[in-house]
Amino acid sequence: MGLLAAEENHILMPHTSELVFGLIAFAIILFAFWTKILPRVTTTLDERADAIEGGIERAKAAEAEARETLQQYQAQLAEIRAERNAEIEKAKQQGAAIIAEMREQAQVEARKIVENAHAQIEAERQQAVARLRVEIGTLSTELAERIVGEALSDDAAQSRVIDRFLDELESQDRAGSQAEAR
Amino acid sequence: MEILGNLNVIGYGLAAIGPGIGVGIVFGLGNQAIARQPELRGPLQLNIYLGMALVEALAILGFVLAFALPYTSS
Amino acid sequence: MSANAHVLAAEDGDGGLFTPGGPGFAPPTTDIFFPPPIVEFGPFAISKYTVLLALTVVVVLGFWFATTSKMKLVPSRWQSVAEMGYLFIRDQVARPTIGKQGDRYVPLLITLFFMILVMNLWGVVPLVGQLPVTANTAVPIVLALIVYVFWNVVGIRKQGGWRYFRDILFMPGVPWPFYIILTPIEVISTLIVRPVTHAVRLFANMFAGHLLLATFAAAGFYMFNPGAPDALLGAVSVVFSGFAFLGFFAFTLLEIVIMSLQAFVFVLLTAVYIGGAVEPAH
């Protein structure tokens, strides 16, 4: 071997053709990567990242929505429960009021009935007394007449008269009480 | 006794001693560093290869000179 | 490389191991990196490298167009492989080194990574390749030059030309007498050594690895000599060549690792250089 320049097939001497063709090959590959291949790869990767992120965000949104709905439901439930409690309370009060009123009415009525009954009894008693008075008068008059009319000689006759009188009186009294009951 | 051959190759062999040791040290210490802090593996590996490339430059110069310089066989 | 090695072994004559009077073992030379040009016109020549370069373009673009032509939100298997490749470059290389603006440079980085990876892997693809394209100096030089120009342009556009070069020449935060030593070192290391090592690292790894594999393969072919005059020695030669091929396969696996690693390192350094240009020096 000799000097670098003098040697034709020296291992360190670059060949002109390989220099040029290497440059061309590099340029072709670089051009293809730059304009065609890598944009596709990056767009796909970006899309995938978007898809994954979108999925996560959708899941988050759904979770938030679910939580919100749950809260709404719980609020509604609490509201309904409170309302129901209020209703029950009101109903209880109303029931108590109604019962009190009814009792009042019943008492008033009972009292009225009792009063009526008292008044009637009184009236009937008065009537009875009055009629009794009249009747006793007539009876005693009649009895006196009879006693007087029978000539008071006979004891037996007397007692017979008295018995008959009492029988009459009894029957009269029964008829009278029946008539009165009617 | 006649010895034939290219003296430049011996020169290259001598030139490769230092970088050989250097590359060994670079990788050994690099592995030690990774073993101590495995979480820094990425940057450490990068630095290992960088250090290897720098150390290797001397051996590469020796290689080039072994071919580039003219020689005379005995 | 085995084909080349076979040719070499055949050129040795009908000798081989343990055959008296044989020509002896001739290891593969750098000539295996200079396949004869197929077509020549002027300064240009279409060689195996050129064909493999074209195949690289076809393979890289074919894979990416096939996996990304009908992209879905729920990825299929191959689509997720492509996405992993993209996310690897973006999250492991671009963002940690360049920072927030890293996403802008992902196309360049991903181009470099997959192009270099495929070009490297041609070295272990049997029949078609068996020659890493990056083992030709021209290809790494072109790529490193592109990167070199790119990060300098980025630095000048982001920080302004004067400030950018001032930061390179005079590292801020250093007492001025140190500039006497530091400035030449910085100029050499940043503006000269950086791109050179960037290119040569890739080239040298691929070159040396390929030469190693070729040596193992050639040795295997050389030592395979069952027709040796002594039958016992013939059997021994077969065992020897078996060891050589075992080494060949082991180092092939190692080479695959190194090929991926070098593609990654190239891209990582590109990102670091760009990152240094985007962010003002601290």
pLDDT for C37 equals: 81
Asked if the Cβ–Cβ distance from A12 to B68 is below 8 Å, we say: yes
Q: For tokens 């990068």, what's the residue?
A: B46
A8 near C CB under 8 A: no
Best mutation target among A1, A7, A11 (most B Cβ atoms within 10 Å) is A1
Mean pLDDT by 10 residues, chain C (282 residues): 46 56 69 81 82 92 88 83 91 86 90 94 84 89 94 89 84 82 87 89 89 86 77 83 89 92 92 86 55
Using the Cα atoms of residue B18, residue B24, residue B27 and residue B32 in order, give the sign of their dihedral.
negative
Asked if the Cβ–Cβ distance from A1 to B71 is below 8 Å, we say: yes
| Count of structural domains within chain B | 1
Q: Quick one: closest CA in C to A12, which residue?
A: C137
Q: Are C116 and C133 in contact (CB under 8 A)?
A: no
Q: Are C265 and C201 in contact (CB under 8 A)?
A: yes
B63 → closest Cβ in C96, C204, C265: C204
A156 near B CB under 8 A: no
C53 → closest Cβ in A25, A37, A47: A25
Chain C residue numbers touching A22 (CB-CB < 8 A): 53, 138-139, 142-143
pLDDT for C211 equals: 87
> How far is Cα A97 from Cα C34, in angstroms, rounded to an integer?
120
In a domain, B37, yes or no: yes
> How far is Cα C223 from Cα C244, in angstroms, rounded to an integer?
8
A20 near C CB under 8 A: yes
> Residues in chain A with pLDDT < 50?
1-7
Q: Give the C window 86-105 contacts with B, CB below 8 Å.
A: 92, 96-97
Chain C residue numbers touching A9 (CB-CB < 8 A): 30-31, 34
In a domain, B6, yes or no: no
Q: Domain extents for chain A? A: 25-126
Domain boundaries, position B45? 14-68
Task: Provide the shortest C-alpha distance from residue C15 to chain B (in Å).
Answer: 23
Crossing angle, helix C231-278 and helix B41-68, to 10 degrees?
120
pLDDT for C56 equals: 92
Q: Per-residue b/e over A76-104, b at no fewer than 16 CB within 10 Å?
A: eeeeeeeeeeeeeeeeeeeeeeeeeeeee
Instruction: Compute how many other C-beta atoms are within 10 angstroms of the C-beta atom of residue C51.
Output: 18
B60 → closest Cβ in C96, C200, C272: C200
Helices (H) and strands (E) in chain C, counts: 10, 2
Q: Are C216 and C245 in contact (CB under 8 A)?
A: yes
Output the six-digit token pair for A140. Answer: 């005693």
Task: Provide the shortest C-alpha distance from residue C250 to chain B (in Å).
Answer: 21
Q: What is the CATH number of the domain that holds B35?
A: 1.20.20.10
Q: Are C188 and C237 in contact (CB under 8 A)?
A: no
Residue B5 zone, left/alpha/beta (φ > 0; ψ -120 to 50; rest): left
Chain C residue numbers touching B50 (CB-CB < 8 A): 268-269, 272
Q: Give the C window 187-206 contacts with B, CB below 8 Å.
A: 193, 196-197, 200-201, 204
> How far is Cα C179 from Cα C279, in angstroms, rounded to an integer?
22
Q: Quick one: closest CA in A to C71, which residue?
A: A44
> How far is Cα C116 from Cα C269, in angstroms, rounded to an integer?
14
Q: Quick one: closest CA in A to C138, which residue?
A: A14
B37 vs C4, which has greater pLDDT? B37
Asked if the Cβ–Cβ distance from B61 to C193 is below 8 Å, we say: yes
pLDDT for C160 equals: 84
Q: Which chains touch A (3 or more CB pairs under 8 A)?
A: B, C
pLDDT for C182 equals: 87
pLDDT for C19 equals: 65
> How far is Cα A35 from Cα C68, in angstroms, rounded to an integer?
13
Of A147, B54, B14, nearest to C268 by C-alpha is: B54
Q: Domain extents for chain C? A: 2-278
Task: Provide the shortest C-alpha distance from residue A14 to chain C (in Å).
Answer: 4
- Region B33-48: what's the mean pLDDT? 88
Cα distances from C33 to residues A18, C26, C47, C136, in angstroms, run: 13, 16, 11, 7
C269 → closest Cβ in B43, B53, B60: B53
Of B48, B22, B23, nearest to B34 by C-alpha is: B48
C64 near B CB under 8 A: no
The DSSP secondary structure of C68-83, one letter per residue, reads: HTT--SS--HHHHHHH
Instruction: Compute how many other C-beta atoms are within 10 angstroms of the C-beta atom of residue B34.
Output: 16
pLDDT for A9 equals: 65
